[in-house]
Every structure is written in structure tokens, then in C-alpha cells.
Amino acid sequence: MRPSRVKAKFERDEPALIVVLHLTDPSLFEMVSMMGFDGIWMDMEHHSYGLPRGAELMRAARVGLADIVARPAKGEFTRMQRMLEAGAQGIMYPRCDDAAEATEVVRWAKFAPEGERGCDGANGDMPYLMMPLEKYVAEANRETFLVVQIESRSALDRAEEIAAVDGVDVLMFGPGDFSVLSGIPGQWDHPWIHEARQTVARAARNAGKQWGCPTFSLEDSKRLVDMGARFICCTSDFVLVKQGFEKIREDYTGLGFTFAKP
């Protein structure tokens, strides 16, 4: 079974760098994976493509070494199993409210005795019935990692109990939803954001778990690593493309070109 690059880094207490890919060209997944990034965040909570397309993208990523970290929508427990069968090494579960919900994530993503995940084997993760079942189950439980997102004030109040759930590997603070739900949308430097990151870091540390957060700059990434974060999500393809075209527009405006606005 394909080993998890992210979990291997956790075991060495090294930070893992995750990038977000929203565009669905397999070549992009193939390229990023071949470039040596630790993981690719595949966001199926907010985008419209389904598992057949997702499986193609995961297959492209297998050319390189990057883990696929697949995010379902809240409550899509059965979908997590199919994501893992298609080849995801990690599940990022959004908007976790409490320890009971985190326990359900573990239940659906881990085989017995750690959970109650259903077993098939005729998929890309085994792969394709090429392993003894006993070995497959053991390796799947060992190599699969679960990221639980803390994205609301009520969840933040329960961060300690969520972190204590056996099978949860990473607590991830979600500043986007947290800022919106807290009435401070997009205010990344707000004291509440900094306090929330400290709370998540402390809960993870107390439970002996890893933690992480999206980051918006190299300087912020350094702060997170210094705080003990080992799951660092640094940028997305949309951001890079947008910044690239903004630079072109700025440069060519200086040459006298004009740009229409819709």
C-alpha cells in the first residue's frame, strides 16, 4: 500500500507542506506531486466535481509522492470511505462540532478495531486485490490520517475534547469560516484569530496530536511552525493564477494598455 508522506514527516517531527488544487486538470496534480510537495488538498466540500473525476486526479498524483488530502462536506461519512478507496491518504473533515462527531469520522475512516470502515479492496488503495486482506487493513489504519477542522467558536470551546479522540491525527484551525461565523470576515490579523490558533495549538499539544492552519505568507508560516504547527497549507492554484494575471495587468497598464471591466 502507498505510504503516507505526511505521516512519515509527523513521525520525524517535521512540518508537512500542503497545497490546494481547485482546478481539475490531471496534469496539474501530476506536476505538483512530482515537484515534491507533501500533500495536495482536494476540496470536494466546495467544488462541483464528483468522485469519478476525483479518482482520476488522485491517480495522476500517484505518479509523484504527494499525499491526497480529500475534504468531503460535513456529514458525508460514507463519501470518506470512497475517497480513501480511490487513493486518498488523508481525510480533512470540515466544521467538526464536538468529540462525538470526531468519533464518527474515525468510525467511518478506520477499519476495526479502530473503527467500522467497510472493506472492499478492489480499488486503488489496496491496490486492486493485490494484498492479503489482513495486511491491507493494518496498513490502511497505519497510513491513513484524519484532519479535523475547528471552524466555530463552539468547536473551539471543545477543542480539548475533540483532540482527545483516538484516531484524530491533526487539529486544523479554519480561519475562513471562523472569521465569517465570528462576524469578522477576512480579518486575518484580528486578535480572535490569533487567540483561536493558540487554543488549537494548546489542545493539540496537550493531546499529543499535530495541528495546522492555512497560511497567507512565508512569515506567517514561520510563526506557525514556531508555534508547533506541522500541517501547513500554504496557497492554492486559484491564488497563484489570479496573482499572475494581476501582475500582467499591472505591467501592461504601465505600457498604455487598458482592461475592460464587466
pLDDT of 110: 98
Q: Write the DSSP assignment of 126-166 as a string of letters.
A: TTTT-S-HHHHHHHHHHH-EEEEEE-SHHHHHTHHHHHTST
Q: How many CB atoms lie within 10 A of CB 73?
A: 12
pLDDT of 114: 97
Q: Phi-psi bin for 85: left (phi > 0), alpha (psi -120 to 50), beta?
A: alpha
Domains and CATH numbers, the chain: 5-253 (3.20.20.60)
pLDDT of 146: 98
Per-10-residue mean pLDDT, the chain, length 262: 96 97 97 97 94 96 97 96 97 98 98 96 93 97 98 98 98 97 96 98 98 94 97 95 96 96 86
Q: How many CB atoms lie within 10 A of CB 205?
A: 15
Joined together, the cell numbers standing for residue 121 give 479492496
Joined together, the cell numbers standing for residue 146 give 484524519
